[in-house]
Amino acid sequence: MTPLLEIRDVSKSFDGLRALSHVSFAVPHGKIVSVIGPNGAGKTTLFNVIAGAIQPSSGEVLFEGMSLKGLGPSRTARLGIGRTFQIVRPFPGLTTLDNVAVAALGKERTRSAARIFAREVLELTHLAPFAQIEARNLTLARRKRLEVARAIALRPRVILLDEVMAGLNPAEVDQTIELVRTLRSLGIAAVAGIEHVMQAVQKISDFVVVLNFGQKVVEGAPAEVMRHPEVVKAYLGSRYAGAGA
Amino acid sequence: MVGGVYGLMSLGINLVWGVMGVVNLAHGDFIIAAGFLTFWLFARYHLNPLVALPVGVAMGFVLGALTQKFLLGKVPQDRGAVKTSLLMTFGVSYILINAAQLLFGSEFQTVMFLPGSWHVAGLDFAKSRTIAFLMASAVSLALWAFLRFTFAGRAIRAVSQSVDGASVCGIDIPRTRIVSFGIGSALASAAGALLVMIFAISPAMGNGYTIRSFAVTVIGGLGSFPGALLGAVILGMSEVFAGYLASAQIANGIAFLLFLLVLLARPQGLFGRKPS
Amino acid sequence: MTRLEILVAAAAVAFVIAIPLFGSEYLVGFVFTTFLFVGMAYGWNLISGYTAYVSFGQVSFFGIGAYTVAILVTKLSFEWPLAVLVGAVAAAALAVPLGWAMLRLRGPYFALGMLGFVQVLQMVASAWTRLTNGGEGIYLPPAGSLRALYFGSAFLVAVGIAATSSIDRSAFGLRLRSIGEDEIAAEAMGVDTTRAKLLAFVIASAFPAVAGGLYAFRLSYVDPASAFPGSYEVQVILMAIFGGAGTVFGPLVGGVLLSTLGEALWARFAELHLFLFGLIIVVVLRYMPEGLIPRLRRLAASAAASGRKAAAR
């Protein structure tokens, strides 16, 4: 069966700096894939390529078998790829409800219909009490949640979650893990970019892809990948690589 | 020759835009205001324009520094900041134009300082243009030296590269910004003082020179001084050619056309960094 | 609409009709000019207030409206209302390719681009003498009735209010706002920003064009300098900002207040008035950048909140 999202041999260079190098993997429908790697490994660049914000230097991204080459971010969003930003970008002057309603306009025709659907999404993501508050007044944890809510309102097939747990305390991380599991129950696949919140990786992922220096190091089930010597080396340095798990 | 003066205008833009990310729409009006000041000093007190140059520069520096300190510096740095500072400099531009009109009248004025030309190696060099060019080069060199060798200059360069890094090093950011904007306006004023020796100017031409300054910067590329000088030459020569081939009026629009073309085709200009 | 709103609207309409019936010629002229500015402010508000693409080139469309009317009336014997409408269409037609080119430029570049475009148009008007008589200008036949022009301007304002109000409440308006808040996030949320911006830009171009056409008739004369008055740009922008950019009544409130202020100032400080306008822009931006109406709303909201707190004690 065609995978939902296929990243095929994608490379990206910026003025001679190689950010991504021949990365390939596939995301099946409704599954959660974590992309992990140390800072600078290329996760955000990968997400930007998938979302259409930048074009790959070579290789392509296929969504339900169709190439996304040349399509910009608003096109890919409407096709069904939602995303969150690592450094959150809410619409500061709009209310929480309207923030989500903007995304809902992709599939709803009128503002009122969009707001109705947005309210449902807010209920789902436990943001309903804040519906009329301007987004600039939300705490960081709630803004991150709003990012996800907005992406959900696009009614996407897959959401790219870029460091959605960074900067949160353990209780907030748990809440976010619940949120990601909700996605699965909605049938939405997810690609989660995670640098260091490792316990989350174990809990949410169906499988894991590891990036380092723009290259894919290994992919597989969470437990195996975490023990893999290359992965340990990437995070902790070679002294620990031989130590085993 | 005129290219030299254009280059100077562009250096001011490069500094303010590159260091502070502020687009100063009043730039052309600083140029004109200084030009008029120079004219006035020449007409009223018969002051040699070259001596008047520092006066214009000082005025430009003070006005620019004040603008940054009390107006632009107080704009909250959120997403509306660009819009607000654009509008503010737009307002300043009108203040300057009207002030110049009030003080100096709305007529076209110029300073006939050194009429005639020198004949060197079979070519004619108009005296005033040559002097203007030499002065413009001198000022550019002084700027380069300032940025390279003085503490303030290096502080400015540091801030243009990384605001956080600079503040961690103990550099006073607001003050550096005040100095930068002041210097940017001072450069514009210098250009204006030189310009009035070559051309006739009127207060209404402010916008035209703002466009030209930005055109030169964009052609050469933001952040690149050699680019600015090259861009200035390109613009200067295009205007002259357009003046010959078409009419003088078309020459005015050339700056805008080039500006637009470069932005659409190659936004980073010849040597610049990509606009953020 | 609530009963209060209907009442206010009726009062406004009555007021507008009363002016030419009972007011002096001077008053009618003054309100006419005010309405032209308010109409232009609505245009600016649509593109720059909602999407935050600050345009300094609305006068280009003003000039196009003015020249279109002048040419159609003198060379083709059009009746003025039709000529004004054609002027609006001409401006909108130009706005499509212009907007497409300009709106790809980000914030400050867009501002510069529009500023420069005005210069280009002025240059074209001077140079294309066959069409426009160049520097000599075109003389129009007298308009006949100031009253008719006045109602034309009132109609412009009414359209401005109606259009802005309807856009403000619509999906389109929400999209525009999202672009103004954060264009990159808006794109990531599926908003077709190119299309939305362009539509706003084109609609916004019609307003100054109509104003320009009506103005040409009032003045009975059009030339490059009078058709592209930079001072009008300043005043229009100031009115929109002062009243509140991105609101439905901001342009009206700002326009009326500043026009009245301007008239009072001009009577006493004729040469200074541009200087003062520049000064007011700068002061408003420094201390009240969001504009009068949003500021009043906030004051009302915090007054209500502290009133509730006091009542709760």
ipTM of the complex: 0.87
Tell me: pLDDT of B252 over 70.
no
Tokens standing for C87? 């002027």
Tell me: pLDDT of C91 over 60.
yes
Is residue C145 very low, low, confident or very high in pLDDT (cuts 50, 70, 90)? confident
Residue with more model confidence, C282 or C203: C203
pLDDT of residue B194: 80
- Residue A201: which H helix or E strand, with range? helix A198-204
What is the spatial distance between Cα A48 and Cα A81, in angstroms, rounded to a whole number? 11
B208 CB neighbours in chain C (<8 A) are 119
The answer to whether the Cβ–Cβ distance between B247 and C127 falls below 8 Å is yes
B207 CB neighbours in chain C (<8 A) are 115, 118-119, 230
**Are residues C207 and C255 in contact, defined by beta-carbon separation less than 8 angstroms?**
no
What is the spatial distance between Cα C234 and Cα C103, in angstroms, rounded to a whole number? 21
The residues, any chain, with a CB within 8 Å of residue C204's CB and separated by 6 or more, are C43, C44, C46, C47, C55, C58, C95
- Write the CA distances from C223 to B5, B11, B249, C33, C116, integer angstroms: 32, 36, 15, 19, 19
CB atoms within 10 A of CB A240: 12
Q: Which of B29-33, B250-254, C161-165, C299-303 is predicted least confidently?
A: B250-254
Q: Which of A69-78, B10-19, C74-83, C105-114 has the highest mean pLDDT?
A: A69-78
| Answer CATH for A5-90+157-241 from 3.40.50.1820, 3.40.50.720, 3.20.20.140, 3.40.50.300 | 3.40.50.300
Is residue A102 very low, low, confident or very high in pLDDT (cuts 50, 70, 90)? very high
Work out the mean pLDDT of chain C and round it to a whole number. 85
Its domain, for residue C205, covers: 23-229
CA distance to partner chain A, nearest, from residue C204 (Å):
22
pLDDT of residue B248: 57
Coil/strand/helix, residue C256: helix
Tell me: pLDDT of A118 over 90.
yes
pLDDT 10s digits, C6-39: 888 888 888 888 888 888 888 888 899 999 999 9
CB atoms within 10 A of CB A132: 9
The answer to whether the Cβ–Cβ distance between B259 and C113 falls below 8 Å is yes
Beta strand extents in chain C (DSSP E only): 138-139, 221-222
Provide the residue ranges of all domains of chain A, joining segments of one domain with +.
5-90+157-241
The residues, any chain, with a CB within 8 Å of residue B125's CB and separated by 6 or more, are B1, B117, B118, B119
Angle between helices C107-127 and C58-76 (to 10 degrees): 20
Residue with more model confidence, C100 or B85: C100
Does residue B88 belong to the interface with chain C, where contact is any CB pair within 8 Å?
A: yes
- Write the CA distances from B184 to A232, B4, B61, B143, C20, integer angstroms: 52, 16, 8, 10, 52
Note the maximum CA span of chain C.
77
pLDDT of residue B78: 67
Tell me: pLDDT of A180 over 80.
yes
DSSP-assigned states of every residue in C158-220 = HHHHHHHHHHHTSHHHHHHHHHHH-HHHHHHTT--HHHHHHHHHHHHHHHHHHHHHHHHHHHT
What is the spatial distance between Cα B275 and Cα B268, in angstroms, rounded to a whole number? 6
C78 domain-assigned: yes
pLDDT 10s digits, C158-192: 999 999 999 999 999 999 999 988 999 999 999 99
Coil/strand/helix, residue A79: helix
What is the spatial distance between Cα B237 and Cα B239, in angstroms, rounded to a whole number? 5
pLDDT of residue A186: 85
pLDDT of residue A244: 45
Averaged pLDDT for residues A182-199: 81
The answer to whether the Cβ–Cβ distance between B252 and C123 falls below 8 Å is yes
Averaged pLDDT for residues C85-100: 91
| CB < 8 Å & 24+ apart, contacts of C70-73 | C70/C138, C70/C140, C70/C216, C70/C222, C71/C131, C71/C132, C71/C138, C73/C140, C73/C141
Residue with more model confidence, B269 or C227: C227
Return the bridge partners of A10, or none.
A23
The three state secondary structure string of chain B is CHHHHHHHHHHHHHHHHHHHCCCCCCHHHHHHHHHHHHHHHHHHHCCCHHHHHHHHHHHHHHHHHHHHHHHHHHCCCCCCHHHHHHHHHHHHHHHHHHHHHHHHCCCCECCCCCCCEEEECCEEEEHHHHHHHHHHHHHHHHHHHHHHHCHHHHHHHHHHHCHHHHHHCCCCHHHHHHHHHHHHHHHHHHHHHHHHHHCCECHHHHHHHHHHHHHHHHHHCCCCHHHHHHHHHHHHHHHHHHHHHCCHHHHHHHHHHHHHHHHHHCCCCCCCCCCC
C-alpha R_g of chain A? 18
Note the pTM of the prediction, 2 decimals. Answer: 0.84
C9 domain-assigned: no
Q: How many CA atoms lie within 13 A of B57 on its CB side?
A: 18
DSSP type of residue A134: B
pLDDT of residue C109: 79
Tell me: pLDDT of A158 over 70.
yes
C190 domain-assigned: yes
Is residue C277 very low, low, confident or very high in pLDDT (cuts 50, 70, 90)? confident
Averaged pLDDT for residues B28-45: 80
Tokens 């006939």 correspond to what residue? B112
pLDDT of residue B275: 43
Tokens standing for C113? 């681009």
C45 domain-assigned: yes
CA distance to partner chain A, nearest, from residue C163 (Å):
16
CA distance to partner chain C, nearest, from residue A57 (Å):
21
C134 domain-assigned: yes
Q: What is the domain count for chain C?
A: 1
Nearest to B98 among C116, C118, C275 (CB): C275
B25 CB neighbours in chain C (<8 A) are 56, 111-112, 115
Q: Is the CA virtual torsion B200, B204, B205, B210 positive or negative? A: positive
Tokens standing for A17? 């700096």
Does residue B66 belong to the interface with chain C, where contact is any CB pair within 8 Å?
A: no
CA distance to partner chain B, nearest, from residue C192 (Å):
20
Tell me: pLDDT of A243 over 50.
no
**Are residues C60 and C163 in contact, defined by beta-carbon separation less than 8 angstroms?**
no
Tell me: pLDDT of A26 over 50.
yes
DSSP type of residue C11: H
**Are residues B253 and B244 in contact, defined by beta-carbon separation less than 8 angstroms?**
no
Nearest CA in chain C to A150: C189
**Are residues C54 and B87 in contact, defined by beta-carbon separation less than 8 angstroms?**
yes
pLDDT 10s digits, B106-133: 666 666 655 555 555 555 666 667 777 7
Tokens standing for A58? 């070579």
CA distance to partner chain A, nearest, from residue C192 (Å):
6
Residue with more model confidence, B184 or C175: C175
The answer to whether the Cβ–Cβ distance between C181 and A98 falls below 8 Å is no
The answer to whether the Cβ–Cβ distance between A111 and C185 falls below 8 Å is no
Cα end-to-end span (Å), chain A: 35
Nearest CA in chain A to C195: A74
C197 CB neighbours in chain A (<8 A) are none
Pick from C147, C218, C168: nearest CA to C51? C168
User: What whole-number percentage of chain B has pLDDT above 70?
Assistant: 78
Is residue B246 very low, low, confident or very high in pLDDT (cuts 50, 70, 90)? low
What is the spatial distance between Cα A94 and Cα A141, in angstroms, rounded to a whole number? 18
Tell me: pLDDT of A176 over 80.
yes
Q: How many CA atoms lie within 13 A of A40 on its CB side?
A: 5
